[in-house]
Structure 1
Amino acid sequence: MKQTVSGGASASSQSARPGRFARLRRAVATFMGLALSGAAAVAAQPAAVPQHWVSYAQLLGNQFQAWLGDDANPAVVRVHELMGGPKDAGDAVAAAAQPVVAKVWVDATGRVERVEFPTLIDTRVRDALTEVLANRSLAEAPPADMRQPLVLQLKLEPAAGGV
């Protein structure tokens, strides 16, 4: 499943970079693999999901992976701390260990207009993820005929040992 995400140069360079966010990057790769594996299965049926939609979802996944791998971003650091924080942060860790549905809206210029995490209970993790992913521009605008929101599944794993 991870092969569909790591096919791009930017995604593979992010995945290969060692650092304290390696587990988060792997989790994002898993997230995109899960999201795209479902789309690929549907795409095998004639005309169910247009290939250009699948390609755009891959672009979105690669960009999300890069953004979530940016350890210079304070919001990414916050997500990492919440995911691997001390045991008294158990609510954040328990909530984040479950698959998270991400609904993503991208405007006509390619800017991530809005993200929602309807299955994520912990508002601290949700707010930090929203800060990382929303109001940022993608390399391309979405296909004009693409339905929105894009619904993706994210599986975040707590980092071992915290920061």
Structure 2
Amino acid sequence: MSIVGTSATTGQTLQYRDPASAPPSWVQFAKLVKYRFEEWIAADEPVAARFRTYVKAHSGTSDGPPPVLTVRAWVRPDGSMDRVTFAAFSDRDATEDLRTILTRGNVGEPPPPDMLQPLNLRFSLNVKAKDDTPR
């Protein structure tokens, strides 16, 4: 399975900044968060495996995940995830699995001190034919 990030932007409800005008440090940090999310979803552990199984089994169906998922992420000063929001799936367990996956890790560095949050990350949920790892 592949969770492919399609864009990484930053912004707050009233202070949105287009990624083209965001400082390079913000763009780089958003890319790091997207990369970590992909790693965590691809991890060899039960919750991530269960989520990937859901995506594989339900992709393209009326009760499946959307083809593009937008995740809003708030990152604490220590690099851990404060919270994430995204549109719920029709399967409550899959929604909770993804929330668990995305909030239990640490991206490995703090966000830039002046960075607007939340980060708005768009992902394409694609299934790879041969394995369950992100591209």
Q: TM-score, normalised by structure 1?
A: 0.64
Q: Does 1:85 align with 2:54?
A: no
Q: Which has the higher helix share?
A: 1
Corresponding letter in the other structure for 2:40 = W
1:105-148 Cα offsets, whole Å, 9 max, x none, are: 10111101111113644422221111111032111000111111
Q: List alignment gaps of at least 5 residues for structure 1.
A: 1-22
Corresponding letter in the other structure for 2:29 = Y
Match of 1:99 among 64, 68, 74: 68
Q: Does 1:139 align with 2:125?
A: no
Mapped to 2, the partners of 1:86 and 1:58 lie a distance apart of 27
Corresponding letter in the other structure for 1:112 = M
Q: CA deviation at 1:50?
A: 0.5
Q: CA deviation at 1:66?
A: 1.4
Q: CA deviation at 1:63?
A: 1.2
Q: Does 1:150 align with 2:119?
A: yes
Mapped to 2, the partners of 1:101 and 1:86 lie a distance apart of 18
Aligned 8 A contact 2:75 2:82 in 1 = yes
Q: List alignment gaps of at least 5 residues for structure 2.
A: 11-17
Aligned 8 A contact 2:41 2:52 in 1 = no
Q: Which residue of 2 aligns with 1:115?
A: 84
Q: Which has the higher strand share?
A: 2
Q: Tell which has more relative contact order, 1 or 2 (C-alpha 8 A, sep 6+).
A: 2
